[in-house]
Structure 1
């Protein structure tokens, strides 16, 4: 039996309903992830450009665009379990350039920036309340990394009651294998994995 058949027989891979009030959450396109002078980063220029094509459109339609960054205080470096497992993340100190959103994303002064201390953009933040307050019913998740913070955000978005879309060409990772494996798994269980062109057409249909 094929892998696709196994998932289909188990009832996975159904289509996600699309609402009428989407928001775009751009996960961790900060310099610590996007500027390759830092060891925690990778070249994400293509994914940033694809994401920007959507965020520019969303703003023009009056839809929320929200960014996230990971930023730690010095005292957290020795106390958080995640930083013992992923010690490179300890370089993401509050106030440093590494935690600033990459200007190539086209971030605007009015765009909210959620500061998080773990993988999910929902855990320990006010993101769910921000989305609910804006009457959002569908969350488009982009950013980095696909296998880490994007996936964690997608799972928590579903668990927070939102329909979720993931444009694959707007998500970046440090390696191809975890990128593809997690896109596949998210598409089966939590979100519709699509692309920027499809999302753009849908956003235009809402105008």
Structure 2
């Protein structure tokens, strides 16, 4: 019998899914709201954005698709449903507000897909799953904000849609280390592999090299 919960998890959920053959990188909700000290959603997650931007640069170098997600609501949150009713800070994402814009340093490129969403998951109520499937993607690599919210919801839905799912530890962030670490731990146990920035960059490099060798 396991002596503690860590041992219990390792015994029950110690499997690693590995990587796929055709990955896509998703940057979830890197919005100005999380970087503006005057915003209620401020999270101090500059390191997560910096990591995601480094990974994004490599993805483009290697021809790996990049998807950006944004949360956007109509005035009054009429299209936000129960989520907008419950989570009052979502008013920060009403269209036209500075806090709803992409964070400084993250400028969408013409060859990137932008997914607009109203709920936590990047997949719920969007065309993301269909788009990835049509592109032949088998591995979704997640970065973004926040770990306990939209990253986790997207992780569960990614796995549920049949994609090998990978979460990059350094490229995710939250407003408190406790939910951040707890959710990384749980996602790694049940839904995805949580890997380092170094490991995902090495994987992207290897995939790019393979594609060039067979091109």
Normalising by structure 1, report the TM-score.
0.93
Q: Would you say the 8 A contact 1:27–1:141 is kept in 2? A: yes
The answer to whether the Cα contact below 8 Å between 1:77 and 1:90 also exists between their aligned partners in 2 is no
Aligned residue in 2 for 1:184: 185
Runs ≥4 in structure 1, deviation > 6 angstroms?
none
1:15-64 CA distances to partner (integer Å, 9 max, x unpaired)? Answer: 01311110111000011223223221222211111111110110111111
Which residue of the partner structure matches residue 64 of structure 2? 63
Quote the residue 2:36 is aligned against: 35
Measure, in 1, the Cα distance between the counterparts of 2:138 and 2:193.
Answer: 14
Q: How does 1:31-180 map to 2 (within 5 A)?
A: 31-77=32-78, 80-180=81-181
Moved more, 158-167 or 32-41: 32-41
Cα separation, 1, equivalents of 2:199 and 2:11:
27
TM-aligned CA distance change 1:75 to 1:180, over 3 Å: same
Match of 2:8 in 1: 6
Q: 1:79 to 1:180 in 2, by over 3 A?
A: closer
Structure 1: 5+ residue runs without aligned partners?
Answer: none
Q: Is the 8 A contact 1:23 1:140 kept in 2?
A: yes
Aligned residues: 206
Question: Is contact 2:139-2:166 (8 Å) kept?
Answer: yes
Contact 1:122–1:156 (Cα < 8 Å) also in 2? yes
Q: Is the 8 A contact 1:24 1:140 kept in 2?
A: yes
Partners of 2:93 and 2:100 within 8 A in 1: yes
Q: Distance in 1 between matches of 2:135 and 2:36?
A: 32
Distance in 2 (CA, whole Å) between partners of 1:131 and 1:35 is 32
Q: Distance in 2 between matches of 1:116 and 1:177?
A: 26
**In structure 2, C-alpha distance between the alignment counterparts of 1:172 and 1:6, rounded to whole Å:** 26
TM-score normalised by length of structure 2: 0.90
> Could you say which residue in structure 2 is the equivalent of 1:203?
204
Change (3 A) 1:33 1:46: same
